[in-house]
Amino acid sequence: MADRNRIRGFLRYEHVTYASILLYIILSSGQIFFNKWVLSSKEINFPFPLGLTLLHMSFSSVLCFLLTKVFKIMKVEEGMTFEIYVTSVIPIGAMFAMTLWLGNTAYLYITVAFSQMLKAIMPVAVFALGVSVGLEIMSSKMLLIMSVISFGVLTASYGELDINWIGVVYQMGGIVAEALRLILMEILVKRKGIKLNPISLMYYMSPCSAVCLFIPWIYLEKSKMDANNNTWNFHVLVLTLNSLCTFALNLSVFLVISRTSALTIRVAGVVKDWIVVLVSALLFAETRLTIINLFGYAIAIFGVAAYNNHKPKNGEAKTLHSQNPTTTGK
């Protein structure tokens, strides 16, 4: 009887885990298309990526405050100090804001499919920055993997029929910002030993990201919105739903990681990217995939898969080394 209950509990846990992974893939893919539609469609007509991202972070800040301080449905973890907030949370929030801003802006210039292809270069940016700050160790195998990913992305870019370099610059800027955010997060956890649950992380980070977005919005987009007040629309229901989906997506990322691992979220991300590339070719007339596009992207994804397979082994080796240090002659 006890064994049967244990099996049922395990199966229930597995079902919830797979459901959370599926939820992440659906929300992540859907949010990409949702943002593209809001920014580019004539029906919504809200071509302000900075304003949209600011709305997302402001919505997240208010919702986190309501959930934790007013209704007290969730609890914010203690342990946050002024020094940690200034030296870690603010830089992370700033990089997160820049990632969302630049990534959303790229959708105005390049297709969703090509944007996802460029994002395959992310492991290269993270690894290069990790090496520069001492979090990663350069090896011949990792150099080969990074070269394969880079070659794949370059090939996919070469196959793009209507490449827009402004969009490429925005997307690459977003990738660098995201890589910096991931490195700062790793430093926060590994070197400072701070671990926050999803709602706590969003509670502390969202207001900071909103402030970081508000300043450039004043100088870059507010005047455009005022000057073209009669040409764009603020659909309250659509934009509120868009912000709510963004909030749910951020929570789903942390949910998957908490139930599985960072490796699982990377693998799920690869599946999501392929889905987005193929579905965008069906949904958007502007998306025209070529054989060179798909061939280059396949090479890049192969490199990403190799990175995902090699990365945890490195992490396990470091953990074992730290737990079982060897003595050497001095």
pLDDT tens, position by position, 230-246: 778 888 999 999 999 99
Grade residue 158 by pLDDT with cuts at 50, 70 and 90: confident
Return all residues near 207 (Cβ < 8 A) that are at least 6 apart. 57, 61, 93
> Does residue 326 surpass a pLDDT of 60?
no
Q: If you search the block for the tokens 């400072």, which residue do you land on? A: 192
Phi, psi torsion values for 76, nearest 5 degrees: -85, 130
> Does residue 79 surpass a pLDDT of 50?
yes
AA letter at 155: T
> Does residue 317 surpass a pLDDT of 90?
no
Grade residue 262 by pLDDT with cuts at 50, 70 and 90: low
Grade residue 18 by pLDDT with cuts at 50, 70 and 90: confident
Distance CA 308, CA 60 (A): 30
Note the pTM of the prediction, 2 decimals. Answer: 0.82
Mean pLDDT value across the chain: 83
Strands annotated E in the chain: none
The DSSP H or E segment spanning 211 is helix 198-220
Distance CA 152, CA 296 (A): 4
Length of the chain in terms of residues written: 330
Residue 5 is predicted with a pLDDT of 60
> Does residue 43 surpass a pLDDT of 80?
no
Grade residue 15 by pLDDT with cuts at 50, 70 and 90: confident
Distance CA 90, CA 253 (A): 21
Q: What is the DSSP string of 112-158?
A: HHHHHHHHTTHHHHHHHHHHHTTSS---HHHHHHHHHHHHHHHHHHH
Distance CA 86, CA 240 (A): 30
Structure-token pair, residue 77: 């973890």
Residue 269 is predicted with a pLDDT of 77
Structure-token pair, residue 295: 């061939």
Residue 186 is predicted with a pLDDT of 78
Question: 313-324 burial by CB neighbour count: b if 16+ within 10 A, else e?
Answer: eeeeeeeeeeee
Structure-token pair, residue 57: 């972070």
